[in-house]
Amino acid sequence: MPILKHNKYEAVKVCNRYLQLTAFYLLTCLMLSIPSKTFASDTYTIYFYNPETNINNFAPLKIEFDKYLSSYGPFQFQPFSDRKSFEKYIVGRNDGVFLMSSWHFRQLKRKFPIDMEAKLVGVSKGKSTQEKILTTKSNIININLLKGKIVASSGNEEYTKSVLMQMLGEEKNNIVSSMKILTVPKDIDALMAVGYGMADSALTTESSLAKLAAINPKQYRFLRPLAKSEEILLPIVAAPKQSDENIKWLLTIIEKMETVQAGKTKLKMLGVDGWKKVGELERVFLGE
């Protein structure tokens, strides 16, 4: 009887071993059938910096994007809070893509001999461009009255003054230089700052002005659109000119974000509805 028990025990061990080997074999076959990029040992990154937006807390943005990207492979999201750190870190890198404002991309190409090209451009309400509007208190009837005044903007000071210079012309350089920039979280906050007397003017998108007219028509009536910019490209995604399969896969993931609900939610955090491939018209805007 003890011998029978022993033999039964050995049979169970052999059976378990057989099942383990079978499971291992099936798992190996499955792994071999999946593209190697999914199991790449190196992590590829979306490097993000945008002077057009004022984000005080990058933690939620990183957490949400890391969660989304990691479901597709060894990908992550790395935001930067200041321009110098971003530029110093990304120049010469080939382990990811670069999400930035179109204005900054043009500046970067002039400043460094960078080996990257624009691949995708953001789309909002069917357009890949937007106009900036300089809106003032109704009693400010011309640009000269803004000398030394406060301009509210969701962009940083360098970006805001650059757009104002393009909008108003070089002859107004002394006025733009004298302006004080009040940085706020969103465009709508910039317009509200004017309404509540915290700023004399606001630099926002045209859609934000329309939004204020809808939600607070009384405050909107006290504002005066004073100047309008040329069309400005929405944020772009750039990549190294020599891109490997991981980077191409990452670009595909970004481009297809609008096709899944989780992706749409993340896109709203960036202020766009989706992405499209950069074409000849966009390359003209970018000076490529």
- Range list of β-strands (E), 143-245: 150-153, 180-183, 201-205, 223-228, 232-233, 236-240
Mean of all residue pLDDT scores within the chain: 85
Domain of 199 in residue numbering reads as 132-230
The angle subtended at Cα 195 by Cα 189 and Cα 199, nearest 5°, is 75
The reply to whether 156 and 274 lie within a common domain is no
The reply to whether 177 and 144 lie within a common domain is yes
Q: Are 182 and 193 in contact (CB under 8 A)?
A: yes
267 falls within a domain: yes
Give me the CATH number covering residue 239. 3.40.190.10
Q: What is the reported pLDDT for 39?
A: 36
The reply to whether 136 and 226 lie within a common domain is yes
The residue from 230, 245, 263 where one domain ends is 230
d(CA 230, CA 143): 17
Q: Does the pLDDT value for residue 33 go beyond 50?
A: no
The reply to whether 182 and 196 lie within a common domain is yes
Residues found in the chain? 288
| DSSP-assigned beta bridge partners for residue 277 | 120
Q: Does the pLDDT value for residue 13 go beyond 60?
A: no
The reply to whether 149 and 226 lie within a common domain is yes
Q: Does the pLDDT value for residue 95 go beyond 50?
A: yes
207 falls within a domain: yes
The reply to whether 136 and 183 lie within a common domain is yes
| DSSP-assigned beta bridge partners for residue 47 | 78, 98
Q: What is the reported pLDDT for 255?
A: 97
Split into its structural domains, the chain has a count of: 2
Q: What is the reported pLDDT for 34?
A: 35
Q: Are 86 and 49 in contact (CB under 8 A)?
A: yes
pLDDT tens column, 229-255: 999 999 999 999 988 999 999 999 999
29 falls within a domain: no
Percent share of the chain, pLDDT over 90:
67
Residue with tokens 């757009």: 163
2 falls within a domain: no
Q: Are 183 and 153 in contact (CB under 8 A)?
A: yes
CB atoms near residue 237 (< 10 Å):
22
8 falls within a domain: no
Position 266 confidence tier, pLDDT thresholds 50, 70, 90 = very high
For helices 59-70 and 261-270, give the axis angle rounded to 10 degrees.
150
The reply to whether 147 and 191 lie within a common domain is yes
In this predicted structure, which of 25-34, 144-153, 194-203, 256-265 has the lowest mean pLDDT? Answer: 25-34
The reply to whether 46 and 73 lie within a common domain is yes
The reply to whether 224 and 177 lie within a common domain is yes
63 falls within a domain: yes
The reply to whether 187 and 253 lie within a common domain is no
The reply to whether 82 and 222 lie within a common domain is no
**Alpha helices per DSSP H over the chain:** 2-33, 59-70, 83-90, 102-111, 157-168, 173-178, 187-195, 206-215, 217-220, 245-255, 261-270, 280-286
Phi, psi (5° rounding) for residue 48?
-125, 130
Average pLDDT over residues 208-222: 91
17 falls within a domain: no
Q: Are 86 and 80 in contact (CB under 8 A)?
A: yes
22 falls within a domain: no
The reply to whether 138 and 202 lie within a common domain is yes
- Higher pLDDT: 6 or 116? It is 116
Q: What is the reported pLDDT for 110?
A: 83
